[in-house]
Each structure stands twice: as C-alpha cells, then as structure tokens.
A and B are shown apart, each in its own frame.
Chain A
Amino acid sequence: MQRLLVLLLFAAPLAAQNPALREVARDPNEDIYIGKKEHIAAGEQLYSIACSGCHGPGGEGGRGPNLVIGPAAQNKKPTQIYSAIKIGVPGGDMPPFGSMSEEQLWQMTAYVSSLSRPAYEVDVPGDPEAGKALYHGKAGCSNCHMIRGEGGSLGPDLSNAGLQNYVLQLREGVLEPNKRITPGFDPVRVVTDSGETIEGVAKNYTNYSIQLLDRSGTLHLLDTGGLKEIVFLKETWMPANITDRFSDDEIQNILAFVSRQAARIPSADADTETADN
C-alpha cells in the first residue's frame, strides 16, 4: 500500500503570479517528454523524493496546491509547468529546482502534466489485458460496473472511465471507494409503510420522491408518502479492502485496463478511414 502511494508523486507548486507561467511558447522538449510513458514513470520517481511532501500523495495538495484539479493544474502548458519547477515561485514557498538536469526537469514536467489529463491520455502503466481478466474475474468489478453492456449496474458505468477521470480519481475510486460517492450512486435503504425494506442506490431523491435502483436491478420510483424511513448507508458495495486481496501490480493492471475505456476513441488515435464510403 505504501509503495502504491509513493508512486503517486506530486510536483512543485504552480503559482499563478509566477511570471514564468506566462511563458507559453512551445518547446521541442514537449515532443520528447510529454505523454511518454517512460518519462512519466521517471518523473514519478523524482517527485516521490522532491515534491510529494508538499503536494501530498495523490496530488490532492497539502502545503502546496492541488496538481490534479484547480487553477494550479488546469489548462497549464508544459512550458509553464517546466518554468515553475525550474525557477520556483519567487516570494513563495516553492523552491527552485534548477539544479536538476534538463532531462529530470522535463520528466517531472511530463509527470505533472499527466496528472491533470484524462487517464486515457496518460498511458497508465500496467498490463491492461491482465487487468481486464481481473476486472471480469476474481476482482469482481464487473458484478457492479458495466463496460459496453457487460456487467452490473449498482456502480457507475465505466465505458468512458478513461476520458471522464484523472488517474488520481480512478486510483482513489479503487483504493478509497467510500471517500467520494458518484452522484446517483448514494447507497440507501428505505423502509416502506408496509414494512418492506429496499436497499440499493438512490438515483435521485427529494422530500417527496425517491428513485432507487435496488440490488437486484429493479428500479423503484417511490413517493415518500409511502415510506417510513430512508437511511443513507455509510459504505457502498465497493470492496474497501482491495489492497488486502490483490498485489500492487494487480491493482495497477486493473487501473491500466479501466483507464483505457473510452466511449469514443479520441480523434488522434482513431483510424482515419471514415464510416461512410
């Protein structure tokens, strides 16, 4: 577990006021480093040493800002990230890392850039085929999560998981499934006036009605006037103990598989042949 968290490394803070951030010219190094699996992996190692103390494991921020979502991460060009790492934030807590080699600086840049890109675009390490076998097999993911029509419905559909999530979000969903609950999947138990208990996920609810998908897949469209009680459950049915059951590599393989799920193949990767002849 600790090793997994260490793999989630985070970069130097990026302050909006840093003049270096205004440098937006494209650098030839972007083509060499950005989006390249091996450099991202090397960047992870560097950040585990240099950056995670301030930016926190998982990139959620700490003493330094969040590097996955929020103004320090979104819409930042690689050259802006590079400059912030190299020069630091004058007048702030972020130190300069200019003593590192150019390669190391760009590897860290590649890693930080990857944090705020959809998981599909990151080329997440791991064996997706092995992850697929786990997903549909002993890990039991498909019992609750559908991908292109295969699987259950008690959890969110993952057909587009790679484009809808950052790697951090996917990882958090696996390792800490009850930390954040996807809207429409709040686990709930209701008791009707006749004493029937129904347990499932609340697709929606108000004081007057609740739309509940139960664990057998039946949708209940209920008027709250016929209910005695609604209890929102503390935990989802997502297993909270996955690190006890699977190795780090196995979990990484599952993440590699899920991160490659896209409702549409992004145009840069698509076959150029058109559907209409």
Chain B
Amino acid sequence: MSGSAARRRLAVTSALIASVLAAFPAASQVKYEDILRGPGKDWLTYAGDYSAQRHSALTQINTGNVSSLVPKWVYHIEVGRRLSAIPLVHDGIMYVGNSNEVHALDAVSGRKIWHYRQEDVEGGSRANRGVGLLDDSVFFVTGDCYLVALHRKTGALLWNHQYADPARGYHCTVAPFAFKDRVVVGVSGGDSGARGFLTAHSAKTGEELWRLWTVPAKGEFGADTWGPKTLDWGGAATWMSGSYDPDLNTLYWGTGNPWPDFYGGDRPGDNLYSDSLIAVDGDSGEMKWYFQFTPHDVWDWDAQEFPVLLDLPYQGEDRKLVVQANRNGFYYVLDRVSGEFLHANPFIDQLTWASGVDKNGRPILVEGQAPQPGGVEVCPTVRGASNYMSPSFNPNTGLLYIIALEGCDIYTSSAREPVPMVGFAGTGGEKPPRHSNQFYLRALNPTTGERVWEYPMTGPTIMWAGTLSTEGGIVFFGDDDHHLVALEAKTGEHLWHFNVGQQLFTSPITYMVGDKQYVTLVSQTDVFTFGLFEPVKQVPVIKRTREK
C-alpha cells in the first residue's frame, strides 16, 4: 500500500473510531439518582443505598421458592486470602474489590471482563472492603491510601490521588462512599495511633474538597479531652463506609477507638471524637453533631458498624432516626437531625462493663472493668458485641437484623509510654479458658431494641458476615460454619442454607440481570452466586474461526 493510500485509510479509520467512541451511552452511567432510589435490580453502594438499610426490593426469590436456590457460578480470586469486600452490581456487571485490585465480572456468567491491579503498594496486602460507583467511575482505595478511579467498562485508570501518608501510620481499606459529585473516604491505622479523618474528593478529578479530622487539633473544641502525649496521633479511624441523608445533606460515619487501645493513662478525658457517630455536612465537611458511645474507651470498641437511617414513629411521633448496634454491647437510637440521644439497651446478655446508660446515653461504668496488667474478664469481647457485620432492616416486618456475639475476654494492659506505630505487647483481649462464645442473628424492634427472635450459630465464632433483607420476605446472612443461610424474615424460621466451605468476612447482596434474580456472597477466596434452579440449556458448539 502506498503511503498516501495508507494515510487515507487511517484517516477514515480514525474518523470512524473517533465518531463512534466519543462516549459510552450516558443512560448506562451510574447516576446519583439511581443510588437514591435504593436497591432494585442493581446493588450500588456498600450498604445497598444511602440509608444503609440493606433491604432489596426484589421478590423473585422469596419464601416460597428459596429452597430451590442453587449455585450459578463461582469466581476464584487467585490472590484472595481474606476477601472483605461487598460486591457492587450495575447494569449486569459486578465489581469486586480485593487488596490493591478490582475485578469486573459478567454478573450472569461470572466471567471476568476486566481486572485492575496496582503493583508495588507500600505495606503490601491489606483488607479491602470494596468499591464505590458514580457516573463512569469505579472507585477503590489501595492499601497505601491512594483513592483510584477506574472506568467502569474497561478498568482504565482515570485518576488516582494519595490522600493519607503511610509514614504517619495510615493504611486504607474503606469502600469509597460516592454521592452527588463527590466521593468520601476514611482511613485505617487507629490501632497504631494514626489520627483519623474523612476526606471528600471530586468524583471527576480526585481533588480534595474537604477534610474533617476525628481527633481535634490543639486549641480546638475537644482537644482538652486528650492528654498532650497522644493528641497529635490519637486513633479514631474511619475505616468503614457510612450512610447519608440526602434531604439533610448529612453524612453519618462511625469512628474507631482511641489510641493506645487498652491503656488510657496517657489520654485522660473522653478522647473526642473516638468511638463516636459523627454527622457531617456533605458540602462543607463541617461536623454538625457527634454522639460518643464509649467515652475514654480502653476495650477497643470502635463504633464502625455503619449507621442505619430509619424514618419511624418514636413514642408516637414521626422521627428521623439513626440506629446502631454498637461494639460495646448497647443498641442506640438517636435523632439524626439533632443528634439527640433517645434510647439505648443491651442487645447481648453478657455485658459487664456498664450497668446501663444515663439520660444522655453516657455509659454508667462498673468498677474494676478497665484492663489490668494481670488481666480482667470483661464482656463483650474485644471483637465487640457486634462489629462490621452488616445490619439490615425490613420495612414490612419492621425488624432490624443484626449479628451479635455473646462472649467475654480477658483484657490486659500495661502502662507504657505510647510510641506511635509500635504495638503494645502484652495488651489486648484473649478468650478465657473453657469459655465458649457464640454468634446470633437477632431481630430487634428498631425503636425499643426489644429482641423479637434470634437464630443461634454453632461455629467457632470466626466470622464477619452480616445480613441482607429482601422484599421477598427473606433474611440472608453468613454464619460462622461457612454457610449462606436464608431465614423467614418475620419469624426467623430456617428456609435454606448452602455450605461454601470457607470462612466469611463480608455480607451477601442480591441483584437482577434480565429477568433473573441472584444472590451473591464473597467467601475467603471466592465469589459465590446463586439463583433459582432451572435446567441448563444445551449449548451447541458454536462455529468459531480465526481469520488467516
């Protein structure tokens, strides 16, 4: 071919490609309005929607047919060791996060569409709790705290931005939280002293829009709740995703424990804003209010279970509520407009560190329950009465479903000089000899905290899976015997189970592609997807040729 002919051919080709590749169909972008509608055929946020109710409107799989649920496909993640992500699904594509990588899958066949991996990450492999979606972007964080935006159809890198410095003790695991035109992320590392914060970034460019510290700076309100030794560090990490009220333009986010975890001698005071629920203006990042569940925590009881937003009558009055089954063993009901404390009660039977809460929700401490060098038995365990296992709420039954861990630990402590990013050897919590802990799925009345029914588990209490509620009248959850289980939502009656054969660190989701509903649970190393039984159609070998 002559040069001029070649140029003409390329010019035509280039023009053609340029004209047709101008943009992906806008209709299939993930719009803010799509997320506002809540979980229908798609599952668009870590907790399904902004209210974090984890209740799907899908009904194809229901109490009448769930017994015929069967595996449809399994996707193995080669480097998966302890998969902690909740997958998101949009437009037939499933996005699964893992340490420093994202897998995009055909949600019907389980086949990989694209895979993005960031190599040479400082600190290596970390947990990853999943991705966020908005417009054409898939957001995830690397272990060394880069917020990364990828193109949802190809995995192409759109932008990346390091928002926290590992040299200051940070690492990152959070599922990015996208709303309006921005994406919010938090940090891990509070157990090593890293000073917690939230940042909001432009969804288009990654530019930082605001930053809110969860440990005040010297001179700021709350600084006097710390001693001088720890204020520059302090913990109060923000490692779990939050929830959002679009009408109030308010983010609700739980914060982690103060540091050092088990010794409070060097941090006299309440240690604001550790172990708190903070309400944050979505535009400015200003804190509207806070509520601290465990002032001056010495048991490592982060408040990180994502806050559930409910609009319900409370004592005869319609209220905008925010509720949390806290790691400290109390179930809390707050007014989410004002932060007013409304109610708290234990959701576990074994709770020894506090005799109750006062009228402001402040715990009434029991003497002798602070960790000691020789150890002291305290209930609940250091893992907490609940943890990051997802709660869910079914508006039809009016029940809130939570995971509860009944158990106690021997808590030990030592009065050592706190050194950031250096572990406190000899401190922590260990299970007492011959003591048996036990997990339960508990259905609570969300305004009174009353236990309506419970479903006990039988495993070794190594499990971080949570719950999923559906309009089909089912509560799905993962148990500590490696099962995905379906219960009748109103009564807790067993309907179905499947043994995936691996520990579970994350919570199930449901979605629909075409006319079929699916349920997915990520296990330690694999993504399991289930659907209703139907005979497999014969597929003739297709004519497949390669041009010569």
Contact = CB atoms under 8 A, between A and B. Distances in A.
Interface string B125-165: 00000000000000000000110010101111111111111
B23 A217 contact: yes
A97 interface: no
Contacts of B544: 229-232
A232 B156 contact: no
B57 interface: no
Nearest to A140: B14
Contacts, number: 163
Contact of A148 (B3, B24, B158): B158
A133 B146 CA distance: 29
Interface string A195-235: 00000000111111101010111110101110111111110
B9 to A, nearest CB: 8
B10 A140 contact: yes
A157 B155 contact: yes
Contacts of A275: 145, 161-165
A182 B153 CA distance: 17
Interface stretch (A39-47, A52-60, A238-246): A238-246
A216 B13 CA distance: 13
A272 to B, nearest CB: 10
A193 B257 CA distance: 60
A40 to B, nearest CB: 23
Given A221-B106, A274-B165, A148 B159 contact: yes
Contact of A229 (B25, B113, B165, B542): B542
Contacts of A204: 106, 111-113
A230 B543 contact: yes
B155 A216 contact: no
Contact of A276 (B113, B118, B155, B165): B165
Interface string A129-167: 000000000001001101011001110010110000000
B154 A207 contact: no
Contacts of A184: 114
B93 interface: yes
Contacts of A154: 17, 21
Most chain A beta-carbon neighbours within 10 Å: one of B13, B170, B548: B13
B545 A232 contact: yes
Nearest to A239: B10
A224 B162 CA distance: 42
A209 B109 contact: yes
Nearest to B161: A275
B425 interface: no
A192 to B, nearest CB: 11
A231 B546 CA distance: 6
A267 B240 CA distance: 29
A153 B151 contact: yes
Nearest to B109: A209
Contacts of B146: 264
B395 interface: no
B21 A144 contact: yes
B537 interface: yes
B317 interface: no
B111 A276 contact: no
A231 B547 contact: yes
A237 B13 CA distance: 8
B6 A245 contact: yes
A217 B153 contact: yes
B111 A206 contact: yes
A221 B92 contact: yes
Contact of A241 (B10, B114, B145, B168): B10
Contact of A157 (B3, B20, B21, B154): B154
Nearest to A184: B114
Contacts of A205: 111
B113 A211 contact: yes
Nearest to A143: B17
Given A216-B21, A219-B113, A264-B160, A276 B541 contact: no
Nearest to B3: A244
Interface string A87-101: 000000000000000
A209 B13 CA distance: 29
A146 B156 contact: yes
A152 B120 CA distance: 27
Contacts of B111: 204-206, 209, 211
Contacts of B543: 228-230
A237 B145 CA distance: 37
A114 B151 CA distance: 32
A217 B19 CA distance: 11
Contacts of A276: 163-165, 168, 170
Contact of B6 (A149, A244, A274): A244
Nearest to B115: A184
A263 interface: yes
A225 B539 contact: yes
A182 to B, nearest CB: 12
B21 A244 contact: no
B174 to A, nearest CB: 15
Contact of A203 (B113, B149, B163): B113
Interface in A240-277: 241, 244-245, 263-264, 274-276
19 contacts: A140-B14, A144-B21, A146-B154, A149-B156, A152-B21, A153-B156, A157-B155, A159-B156, A209-B106, A213-B153, A225-B537, A228-B542, A229-B542, A229-B544, A231-B546, A239-B10, A263-B157, A276-B164, A276-B170
Interface of A: 140, 143-144, 146, 148-149, 152-154, 157, 159-160, 184, 203-209, 211, 213, 215-219, 221, 223-225, 227-234, 237, 239, 241, 244-245, 263-264, 274-276
The 10 closest A-B pairs by CB, nearest first: A157-B156, A140-B14, A234-B547, A152-B21, A159-B157, A241-B6, A274-B165, A149-B158, A276-B165, A209-B109
